[in-house]
Amino acid sequence: MSVINTNVNALLTQGALKTNERDMSVAMERLATGSRINSAKDDAAGLAISSRMNSQIRGLDMAVRNSNDAISMIQTADGASVEISNMLQRMRELSVQAQNGTYDADTDLVYLQKEFIALQNEIERIADNTQWNGNNILDGTAGTSGTVSYQIGANASQTISVRFGDFETLKTENTVAAADVTNGSNLIEISDHGYSTGDEVVYAHGGGTAITGLTTDTKYFVIRLSADTFSLATTEANADAGTVLAITGDGNDAQTFTKTSSYGGDIDSTTIGIASVASASAALTAIDTAIAGVDSQRASYGAAINRLQYALDNLSNVSLNANASKSRVLDTDYAKETSELARTQIIQQAATAMLSQANTVPQTVLQLLQQ
């Protein structure tokens, strides 16, 4: 049938041409952007997946930076503790030297004492002034009461906590008194106690009634619950694991909890010295304890650095695989899209030619009218 008002062939060709132009436009956009998904209409599920993976990847990349910063911070503390250890070793040498009977107490020991005090002052200065990013890290104030938490994952609560210790030479000023025990909960309530989990404290009942379950002049380890409450454990491992020591009773107002330093005791100039043979002997014992404490803290630094390094390697591996997964979902397959573009261009040329042919059909009807 020959008609003029409705050119069905031309309409069909136009429809096919529009569809082909749309496919060609998609192929060109994908080749231009490098992304298979440029809007939700391209692949709604794929867009949601790639968005979540992009959040994970960016979080992982930031966690890598956080881990590197954490390692740098701990290495700074470790470097300072090396010098503290060296000075303690020199103080030990002086203590041994002072106990030799060849030295005069009024002259020779005075000279040895001067160097001894100078070393004590320098240890205190290092503890008070060693900083990372403007924050002190060796005076017990790093992070929360000496414990710093590092975010090493892309999501909340993916953290590692590191105790930096307290290298100040005198810690008796940290004594806190008059604790209240919450019966049945094993909680000790002290406003702004300043302790963190794993801190070592010495309990003393002050001559009055002791808290049931605690022994006076005995070391315990803190399990921090809040700024005003904490529980106790018998070992550092138990504190880290949250194994609470059972205690009852309020005790008395004279009882105290004294946080110990990383040295295991005070080593300031008012506590130990070598002005006499007797004091030098006592100083030697205190210094040996201090050296062991510094060695223990340095071992903790080393363990933390190694752990963070392994965590860093894992983060890099996870980030690499996440990027590869995101690429498979989001990125353009250039071989496929190049072929698709060539196909649509050929079809466009053919459809344009066919549309021209379809538009000539009404001319045949006009020829019939002219006869």
Give SS3 for 36. Answer: coil
d(CA 190, CA 230) in angstroms, rounded, equals 8
Q: Which secondary-structure segment (H or E) carries 187?
A: strand 187-189
* Three-state SS sequence of 219-263: EEEEEECCCCEEEEECCHHHHHHCCCCCCECCCCCCCEEEECCCC
* Residue 234 pLDDT: 93
Across 89-98, 293-302, 330-339, least confident range: 330-339
Q: pLDDT (tens digit, 9 = 90+) per residue, 278-288? A: 999 999 999 99
pLDDT for res 122: 94
3-state secondary structure of 197: coil
Q: Which two tokens stand for residue 154?
A: 């892309």
- Give 180-211 pLDDT, tens digit per residue: 677 668 888 888 887 878 888 888 877 667 78
The answer to whether residues 76 and 298 touch, using CB atoms and an 8 Å cutoff, is no
At residue 9, what is the residue type?
Answer: N
Q: Which residue has the tokens 């190049």?
A: 338
- Can you tell me the mean pLDDT for 294-318? 94
Dump pLDDT digits (tens) for 206-232: 766 778 888 888 889 999 888 888 999
Written as six digits, the tokens of 168 are 């100040």
Strands 180-182, 187-189: pairing kind: antiparallel
Question: How do residues 30-88 score in pLDDT, each as one tens digit?
Answer: 888 888 888 888 888 988 998 899 999 999 999 999 999 999 999 999 999 999 999 99
Closest to 82 measured CA to CA, from 48, 116, 123: 123
> Is the Cβ–Cβ distance between 221 and 198 less than 8 Å?
yes
Q: Phi and psi of 223, rounded to 5°?
A: -115, 100
